[in-house]
Chain A
Amino acid sequence: MKVVGITTQQEFFVGSKERNFRINEFLIIEDTYQGPLLGEVVEAKTYNRYIPLNINGDFVDNSVLESLKSLGYDIDEDTIYIAKVRLLNEALYPVQTGSDARLPKFHEIKDLMLKTKKEEGLVLGVIRNTDDMAVEMDDEYKNLVYTFEDGILMPQKELPYIMDIRSMHQYPHIGVFGGSGSGKSFGLRVVLEELMVQGIPTIVLDPHYEMDFSEVAIEESNNLPNFNDKFKCLQIGVHVGVKFEDISAQDLKNLLDAAGRLTDSMNNVVDVLFKRRDSYHSFANRLQMLSEAQEEGSLGKIEQRIENANDDEERKAWKARLDLYEAYDKACPYSSVRGISWRLRRLGNDGVFSKNIREIEEGLQNGKLIVIQGSTRILQVFSTYLLSNLYHKRREYKDAVYKKTESDYFPPFIIVTDEAHNFAPKGYDSPSKSILKEISQEGRKYGVFLILATQRPTLLDETITAQLNTKFIFRTVRASDIQTIKEETDITMEESKRLPYLRTGDVFISSASMGRTIFARIRAAYSSSPHTINPFDELKGKVKEEDDKFYNLIINKLPINDIDLVHICMDIEKEIKYTYTVDALEEKLIQMVDKGYIEKEDTIFGYRYIKK
Chain B
Amino acid sequence: MYSINDELKERITDLNELLEGKYKAILGKNGQELRNFIEENIGKIQHMKKLDNKKLKSFYDNGGIVGVDGSNNRMGGAFPHFVEVYQALAKSTSRKDDSVIKTDIYAPLIELDENLLENNEKIIEDKKNIKLSNLEVEAALDSIDKFRPFAILMDGGLIRYNIYAYDKWQELKTRCEEEGIILIGVIKDIKTSMIGDKMKELNPEIKGRIYDREMLYGVLEYGEMILIQHSANKKELEGYASVFLRSSLQPSVIGMDIIESQREHIEEMARLVFTLTPENSRGVPLWLDIVDKEVKITDDIMRGLMERYMDRGIYERFFVSERDKRA
Contacts and interface: CB of A to CB of B under 8 A. Distances in A.
Interface stretch (B55-63, B253-261, B301-309): B55-63
Nearest to A58: B281
Nearest to B52: A70
A75 to B, nearest CB: 8
B287 interface: yes
B289 A71 contact: no
Contacts, number: 74
Contacts of A65: 286
B56 A67 contact: yes
A326 interface: no
Interface string B275-294: 11111111010110110110
A55 B290 contact: yes
Given A55-B290, A55-B293, A72-B64, A67 B279 contact: no
Contact of A70 (B56, B282, B292): B56
B3 interface: no
A607 interface: no
Contacts of B278: 58-61, 64
Contacts of B73: none
A77 B96 contact: yes
Contacts of B57: 70
Given A58-B282, A61-B280, A64-B276, A71 B290 contact: no
B93 interface: yes
Contact of B53 (A61, A67, A74): A67
A77 B276 CA distance: 18
Interface in A456-493: none
Which interface residue of B51, B59, B290, B293 has the most chain A CB atoms within 10 A? B290
Contacts of B290: 50, 55
Contact of A64 (B94, B277, B293): B277
B60 A70 contact: yes
Contact of B275 (A49, A55, A64): A64
Interface string A15-56: 000000000000000000000000000000000011000011
B220 interface: no
Contacts of A78: 96
B228 interface: no
B65 interface: yes
Contacts of A70: 53, 56-57, 59-60
A55 B60 contact: no
Interface in B88-139: 92-96
Nearest to A73: B93
B96 A55 contact: no
A231 B202 CA distance: 106
A60 B287 CA distance: 11
B60 A71 contact: yes
Contact of B289 (A56, A63, A67): A56
A72 B279 CA distance: 21
Given A55-B286, A59-B280, A71 B293 contact: no
Nearest to B292: A56
A78 B293 CA distance: 13
Contacts of B286: 55, 58, 60, 64-65, 68
B93 A71 contact: yes
A60 B56 CA distance: 18
A515 interface: no
Contacts of A362: none
Nearest to A78: B96
Contacts of B56: 67, 70-71
Interface of B: 50-51, 53, 56-57, 59-60, 64-65, 92-96, 275-282, 284, 286-287, 289-290, 292-293
